[in-house]
């Protein structure tokens, strides 16, 4: 279990010298440790939700100012859930830069005979993963298409996958909540292809009385029911009504029926046998593209020579937009391990925790990071702890930093996109990262008020009734935005 971080040691001092992070201490706006000023409407909503004040941490502070409009238990370490992604993505923007990209090198380990439509690679194809968080189906297809453009139709050897850049540990995909088919439970991997996930689509064919079942991507050796019966009635828990049988890696079976009222729906799921996913995807996709593979897909070591070509990822700025807008846990963990690989030359959770903890201490000071506990960088953890004061310092510092546009634009916009698209309070006026686990809810980001001022807002609830406290968070958002009267009497700092 990860522990609380300590004061800077020699490694942190080295990080300070190499990255010049001392300047960040001067740029970070302090938050008073005093607790005061919770708005009445927020407290009333908490009482209605049966959530005590002691289960809440709050900071509301104008951007660029040192005083807080509201501050309650700002220094108390709280489980942040997915708010942890703010720490990971902000550190990555500073340590790697917004234009950072991942490179996936590819080798043709042999000679190509008769290059062209019938060309044969006499040897192995080697792909080395370096942690690309978004090596999705389209980009895997382009990788194989590039191989065809080099004149390869048949691989008369194996496809070797070098996944040695990361050692993510032995955690299983179902360890967190017991459901290994949830896409958010997919574990990090140096060569993470298409999030190791599957999308099953159900399309009603009313004249035939069935819903057509289609799966994407093509996985070698996996079969699925081609259709399921249609059922009448309302579209409610349609996934449960399908009575899916997902435990067999070779077959998807649906013993139930699909409500016709649901129209076309998609069911994203993590593949039940993640260890075989890369093999099934590459073999199935290569075959679908008309290619021939005489060997197998398996792990192997990449050569030390220069690759034949390289697949380059989207920029970090684009990647963190996906991470924060949609709270993508797997991508966040990929980025977390990338920080370790880049700063320590080995991608392990232990090294990543050290890098992130030392960066936070150097950036915000030992007093602000006291009690910080970092687990996997995504917030999908019961162990993680961050104070509201640390998030407020991070947001203040980021606002005055060079990567402010990239971080701010990566946050969900109220009523517009991401995890806040259904929130109808202050539509378009707040950029807020959300966090949610059992017993945890939170939000942190920037709010544009009625007076034209912009505020940092951080609110975290840790309580068995946390989910019922969502209206309280919405009330706090409304209060933060409605500052016109307060602003006319307090213009100076």
CB 228 within 8 A of CB 254: yes
Q: What is the pLDDT of residue 15?
A: 39
Q: Which two tokens stand for residue 1?
A: 């279990």
Say what the pLDDT of residue 14 is: 39
Q: Contact 85/326 with Cβ under 8 angstroms?
A: no
* pLDDT score of 176: 81
Q: How far apart are the first and last CA of the chain?
A: 42
Per-residue pLDDT of the chain in tens (493 residues, 90 and over written 9): 443 333 333 343 333 333 333 334 334 445 444 445 799 999 999 999 999 999 999 999 999 999 999 999 999 999 999 999 999 999 999 999 999 999 999 999 999 999 999 999 999 999 999 999 999 999 999 999 999 999 999 999 999 999 999 998 877 777 787 788 888 899 999 999 999 999 999 999 999 999 999 999 999 999 999 999 999 999 999 999 999 999 999 999 999 999 999 999 999 999 999 999 999 999 999 999 999 999 999 999 999 999 999 999 999 999 999 999 999 999 999 999 999 999 999 999 999 999 999 999 999 999 999 999 999 999 999 999 999 999 999 999 999 999 999 999 999 999 999 999 999 999 999 999 999 999 999 999 999 999 999 999 999 999 999 999 999 999 999 999 998 655 444 444 4
Q: What are the residues facing 312 on neighbouring strands?
A: 103
Residue 289 to residue 279: CA distance in whole angstroms? 16
Task: Report the pLDDT value the prediction gives residue 317, as an integer from 0 to 100.
Answer: 98
Domains delineated in the chain? 10-99+315-482 (3.40.710.10), 103-171+281-310 (3.50.80.20), 183-274 (no CATH)
Question: What is the model's pTM?
Answer: 0.90
How far is the CA of 241 from the CAs of 127, 207, 259, in angstroms? 41, 21, 8
Question: What is the per-residue pLDDT for 42?
Answer: 97
6 contacts: CB under 8 Å, gap ≥ 6: none
Q: Which long-range contacts (CB under 8 A, 24 or more apart) does 429-432 make?
A: 429/481, 430/457, 430/477, 430/481, 432/457, 432/477
Contact status, residue 109 vs residue 124, Cβ threshold 8 Å: yes
Q: Which of 474, 443, 441 is nearest to 458 (CA)?
A: 443
């Amino acid at each position: 279990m990860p522990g609380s971080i300590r004061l800077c040691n020699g490694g942190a001092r080295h990080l300070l010298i190499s990255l010049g992070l001392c300047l960040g201490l001067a740029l970070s706006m302090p938050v008073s440790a005093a607790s005061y000023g919770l708005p009445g409407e927020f407290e009333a909503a908490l009482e209605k939700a049966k959530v005590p004040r002691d289960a809440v941490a709050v900071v509301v502070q104008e951007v660029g100012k040192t005083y807080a409009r509201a501050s309650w238990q700002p220094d108390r370490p709280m489980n942040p859930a997915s708010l942890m992604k703010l720490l990971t993505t902000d550190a990555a923007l500073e340590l790697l830069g917004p234009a950072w990209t991942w490179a996936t090198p590819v080798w043709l380990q042999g000679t190509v005979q008769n290059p062209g439509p019938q060309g044969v690679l006499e040897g192995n194809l080697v792909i080395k993963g370096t942690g690309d968080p978004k090596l999705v189906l389209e980009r895997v297809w382009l990788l194989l298409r590039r191989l065809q453009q080099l004149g390869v139709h048949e691989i008369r050897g194996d496809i070797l996958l070098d996944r040695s850049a990361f050692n993510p540990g032995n955690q299983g995909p179902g360890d967190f909540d017991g459901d290994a088919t949830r896409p958010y439970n997919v574990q990090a991997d140096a060569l993470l292809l298409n999030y190791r996930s599957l999308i099953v689509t159900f399309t009603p064919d009313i004249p035939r009385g069935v819903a057509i079942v289609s799966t994407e991507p093509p996985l070698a050796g996996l079969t699925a029911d081609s259709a399921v019966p249609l059922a009448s009635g309302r579209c409610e828990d349609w996934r449960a009504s399908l009575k899916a049988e997902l435990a067999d890696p070779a077959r998807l079976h649906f013993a139930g029926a699909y409500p016709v009222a649901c129209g076309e729906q998609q069911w994203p799921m993590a593949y039940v046998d993640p260890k075989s996913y890369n093999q099934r995807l590459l073999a199935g996709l290569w075959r679908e593209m008309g290619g021939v593979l005489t060997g197998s897909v398996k792990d192997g070591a990449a050569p030390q020579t220069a690759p034949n070509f390289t697949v380059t990822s989207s920029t970090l700025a684009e990647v963190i937009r996906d991470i924060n807008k949609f709270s993508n846990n797997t991508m966040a963990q990929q980025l977390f391990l990338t920080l370790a690989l880049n700063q320590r030359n080995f991608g392990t959770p232990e090294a990543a925790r050290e890098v992130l903890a030392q960066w936070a201490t150097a950036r915000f000071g030992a007093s602000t990071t006291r009690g910080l506990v970092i687990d996997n960088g995504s917030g999908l953890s019961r162990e993680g702890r961050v104070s509201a004061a640390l998030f407020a310092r991070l947001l203040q510092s980021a606002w005055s930093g060079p990567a402010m546009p990239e971080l701010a634009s990566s946050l969900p916009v109220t009523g517009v996109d991401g995890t806040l698209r259904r929130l109808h309070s202050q539509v378009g006026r707040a950029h807020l990262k959300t966090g949610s686990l059992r017993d945890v809810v939170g939000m942190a980001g920037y709010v544009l008020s009625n007076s034209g001022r912009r505020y940092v807002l951080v609110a975290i609830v840790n309580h068995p009734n946390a989910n019922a406290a969502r209206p309280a968070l919405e009330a706090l958002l409304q209060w933060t935005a409605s500052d016109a009267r307060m602003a006319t009497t307090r213009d100076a700092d």
